[in-house]
Amino acid sequence: MAFASRLGFSICPRINADADHLTASTSSLSRVLSLGLSIRHVVVDRLVQTVTIAQRRAWFFQRRRIVPFSHIAAVTYGYEDISPLSAFSSTHDGVDRFVVGLRVIGSDEVRLFDFVGDGVFTHDGPLPDWWYWDEYLVDFTGTQERESRLYVQLLSKLIGVTIVPSTLTRE
């Protein structure tokens, strides 16, 4: 059984909400690790009924996209295990990646944020589960699953659309 705690590593965007806006931006840890190469800021404005996606890549290239609520078909949500050991071993400690995006009418899916963190221990091998008791005993997970679900549900309610599976993930 995995324990969700701060001991589990996770990289999630900072999310703030008030009566009229839901704001999410790249986490401080991501900014430091990427040396500021990629920064994203998403604002959902209930009054104007738009989603504004501001992105800066390679320090200089800025892009801003404004999507009206009426052009959004759904909020997308997906999961995949991106652990490099998952392809080579039947037992591994997972690395979760939850992807949140928007399905825009007449366009491709727009990725908003990735929620990445330490996942649960996975055992698909021939040995019994009790063989790996020490891995199960000290298995800590990050908060990425809980935070991504909360963000998806808030987006869905604010925009007034359903949640559908993402096309940006394998699973």
| Residue 138 binned pLDDT confidence (cut-offs 50, 70, 90) | low
Cβ(78)–Cβ(165) under 8 Å? yes
pLDDT at 120: 65
One-letter identity of residue 31: R
Q: What is the C-alpha to C-alpha distance for residues 113 and 6, in angstroms, rounded to an integer? A: 20
**Domain membership flag for residue 39:** yes
**Domain membership flag for residue 114:** yes
Instruction: Count structural domains, the chain.
Output: 1
Find the angle CA(45)-CA(38)-CA(68) to the nearest 5 degrees. 25
Tokens 């366009």 sit at which residue? 107
Cβ(39)–Cβ(63) under 8 Å? no
Mark out the alpha helices in the chain (DSSP H runs): 28-33, 133-137, 144-159
Q: What is the C-alpha to C-alpha distance for residues 133 and 136, in angstroms, rounded to an integer? A: 5
* Strands of the 10-11 sheet, one edge to the other: 10-11, 109-123, 91-104, 72-81, 162-165
**Domain membership flag for residue 16:** yes
**Domain membership flag for residue 1:** no
Tens of pLDDT, residue by residue over 14-53, are: 999 888 999 999 888 888 888 888 899 999 999 999 999 9
**Domain membership flag for residue 170:** no
**Domain membership flag for residue 2:** no
Q: Give the number of C-alpha atoms closer than 13 A to the C-alpha of residue 166, restricted to the C-beta side.
A: 22
**Domain membership flag for residue 171:** no
Return the C-alpha torsion angle 99, 100, 102, 107, nearest 10: -10
**Domain membership flag for residue 94:** yes
What values do phi and psi take at 25, rounded to 5?
-145, 160
Tens of pLDDT, residue by residue over 74-101, are: 999 999 987 776 666 666 677 788 999 9
Q: Which residue has better confidence, 157 or 2?
A: 157
Find the angle CA(161)-CA(152)-CA(165) to the nearest 5 degrees. 75
Q: Residue 128: which domain range?
A: 8-165
